[in-house]
Amino acid sequence: MLSGRLALLSFVMLAAVSVPAHAATIRITIDKLTFSPASVSAEVGDTVEWVNKDALAHTATARNGDFDVTLPPSKTVSSVLRKAGTVDYYCRYHPNMRATLTIAP
């Protein structure tokens, strides 16, 4: 019983070590053709969970070419931030949809 608990504890500790301490998951929701929140701070290695609540397809397309994520209707897509910078992004289908990601190294 006790050794089982110890084994579980060491497993949890190993898992914690293998993931960078700052890696976080950030949720950005698209609802009625709006990215929300419109301005997000993140770090390289963080995951963005793009939640598209619209019945339309969207994209999250970086103006500087750093990322281009396709967001099918009513789907959630995850992408990992690989590059630091202040990135303005938009939707290729609805160019009025705009937002900013500030990615620290």
Asked if 94 is part of the footprint of Cu ion (rule: CB under 5 A), the reply reads yes
**Nearest of 52, 47, 84, 43 to residue 60 by alpha carbon:** 52
User: Are the C-beta atoms of 26 and 78 separated by less than 8 Å?
Assistant: no
Asked if 93 is part of the footprint of Cu ion (rule: CB under 5 A), the reply reads yes
User: Are the C-beta atoms of 53 and 31 separated by less than 8 Å?
Assistant: yes
Asked if 77 is part of the footprint of Cu ion (rule: CB under 5 A), the reply reads no
Alpha helices by DSSP H, listed for the chain, are 2-18
| 20 three-class SS | coil
Strand partners, 41: 102
Q: Give min distance, CB of 65 to Cu ion, in A.
A: 18
Exactly one of 58, 60, 87, 101 binds Cu ion (CB under 5 A); that residue is 58
Reading the block at residue 10, the tokens are 């060491």
Report the residue number, 10 or 76, with the smaller CB distance to Cu ion.
76
Asked if 91 is part of the footprint of Cu ion (rule: CB under 5 A), the reply reads yes
Asked if 53 is part of the footprint of Cu ion (rule: CB under 5 A), the reply reads no
Tell me the window of 3-11, 39-47, 82-90, 94-102 that interacts with Cu ion (CB under 5 A). 94-102
Q: Which residues bind Cu ion (CB under 5 A)?
A: 58, 91, 93-94
